Structure 1
Amino acid sequence: MIARLSGLLDSVSESACIVDVGGVGYLVYCSGRTLRGLPRPGEVVRLHVETHVREDHIHLYGFLAEAERGWFNLLQTVQGVGARVALGILSSLSPDELFRAIASADKTTLHRCDGVGPKLAARLVTELKDKVGGIALGPVAMAGGGAAETVAATEGTGAVADALSALVNLGYRRADAFGAVTAAARTLGSEANVQALIRAGLKELAQ
């Protein structure tokens, strides 16, 4: 199995790139996010690779970030998500944004991704909310607290959930409000009341 490729970028198309490794050109399918981050043709590129072997083909999927590869695999554990849909989701959302959407049950944001309908968006939230701590998730997760602590804010009880609801009612996107409230909760501690969390959350949103 190929796990990583390092070579010269030969060319880039709408959904893939060709990496020249010692004179052999490897066709690697990528998300739009990875394609936009590639260097110019002729320059050195290094990609984390996921290899899919089927009876009728061998496909390589490449990612500049290890976290994106982790999400690519995790997304495909959900029924109805194959490689194409997973790449479509990762083309629309960064690993950090995807974490926020899953953890805050923001089905609207997920529904905006190519290939994701309302039912699949709901399934993504239901099946992944307890799994998102298992991969490198970027600054939201790394800033403090595990997946269970973070997702607890979506369960509908407590000051954090009340503050989240208040910010959403003020017109903020659920994912943005979620990030602001959880950041405020980490700063203020577990004893912070709703009013303090709302004030701190508004400050976070204003930055």
Structure 2
Amino acid sequence: MIGRLTGLLLEKQPPWMVVDVHGVGYELEASMNTFVALPAPGEQVSLYTHLTIRDDAHLLYGFGREHERALFRALIKVNGVGPKLALAILSGMDEDAFMRCIRDDDSKALTKLPGVGKKTAERLIIEMRDRFPEWEHGNDAPLALEATSGRAAPRDHLADAEAALVSLGYKLTEATKMLADVDPNQTTEALIKAALTKRMSG
């Protein structure tokens, strides 16, 4: 099991990144909460990881906080929630917001997340309430992540942000609407975060 990686960030294209560790490039997928805190390519990064082994692929997921990884691992134990949906949930809200939804039985907020319908939201509330002890007391110290400002063209940023939202499970029309009133003069990661915040508060 690969539990943690420290190396050079070679590429980042939400929700994917490549980290070079002693000449080996590891491809990881991450939530938008982790992505917005990544340094620029060419800088050092350290991530907690989770490896999922399938018949057709070995998939590696990266997390800036151990607490986020612990929640991811608890989520994928819920019936009907796989890694893709777990990442979408972690991209749409942070751990504290998710905890509030569970404790307040707020299924309405959960259904704003892509792929989470009413039944899934109710299942999350029931099953995750019993799983709080597994992750809520985890180490929440972030690893070596730093937010940076990029300089790519706004149009490229918007296209990348739209593609990332679609990869998280939003429909193209939803992604376009989420980005409609967002300031385009931001990094891709910042645009995604703003769009997700707008979606959850709408």
Is TM more than 0.5 here?
A: yes
Structural mapping, 1:53-202, within 5 Å? 53-136=53-136
Which of the pair is proportionally richer in helix? 1
Partner of 2:176: none
Q: Following the alignment from structure 2 to structure 1, what is the Cα–Cα distance between the partners of residues 4 and 39?
A: 17
SS in 2 for 1:77: coil
Q: Percent identity?
A: 42
Q: Which amino acid aligns with 1:116?
A: V
Where in structure 2 are there 5+ consecutive unaligned residues? 139-202
- Write the deviation string for residues 125-175 of structure 1: whole angstroms up to 9, x where unpaired: 01111221221358xxxxxxxxxxxxxxxxxxxxxxxxxxxxxxxxxxxxx
- Write the deviation string for residues 6-25 of structure 1: whole angstroms up to 9, x where unpaired: 00111111211100111111
TM-score normalized with structure 2 length: 0.66
Q: Following the alignment from structure 2 to structure 1, what is the Cα–Cα distance between the partners of residues 54 and 3?
A: 17
Partner of 2:46: 46
SS in 2 for 1:38: coil
Q: Following the alignment from structure 1 to structure 2, what is the Cα–Cα distance between the partners of residues 39 and 24?
A: 19
Determine if contact 2:74/2:134 at 8 Å carries over to the other structure.
no
Q: Following the alignment from structure 2 to structure 1, what is the Cα–Cα distance between the partners of residues 81 and 134?
A: 19
**Cα RMSD, aligned residues only:** 1.2
Q: CA deviation at 1:54?
A: 1.4
SS in 2 for 1:131: helix
Q: Following the alignment from structure 2 to structure 1, what is the Cα–Cα distance between the partners of residues 137 and 103?
A: 11
Q: Following the alignment from structure 2 to structure 1, what is the Cα–Cα distance between the partners of residues 118 and 28?
A: 30
Q: Following the alignment from structure 1 to structure 2, what is the Cα–Cα distance between the partners of residues 118 and 100?
A: 17
- Write the deviation string for residues 39-74 of structure 1: whole angstroms up to 9, x where unpaired: 111111000000111121101000000011011011
Determine if contact 1:72/1:86 at 8 Å carries over to the other structure.
yes
SS in 1 for 2:78: coil
Q: CA deviation at 1:79?
A: 1.1
Q: CA deviation at 1:33?
A: 1.0
Q: CA deviation at 1:88?
A: 0.0
Q: Following the alignment from structure 1 to structure 2, what is the Cα–Cα distance between the partners of residues 115 and 137?
A: 27
Aligned length, in residue pairs: 138
Structural mapping, 1:14-29, within 5 Å? 14-29=14-29
Partner of 2:166: none
Partner of 2:188: none
Q: Following the alignment from structure 1 to structure 2, what is the Cα–Cα distance between the partners of residues 76 and 68?
A: 13
Structure-2 change in CA distance of 1:108 and 1:137 (3 Å): farther
TM-score normalized with structure 1 length: 0.64
Determine if contact 1:34/1:63 at 8 Å carries over to the other structure.
yes
Divergent runs of 4+, >3 A: none
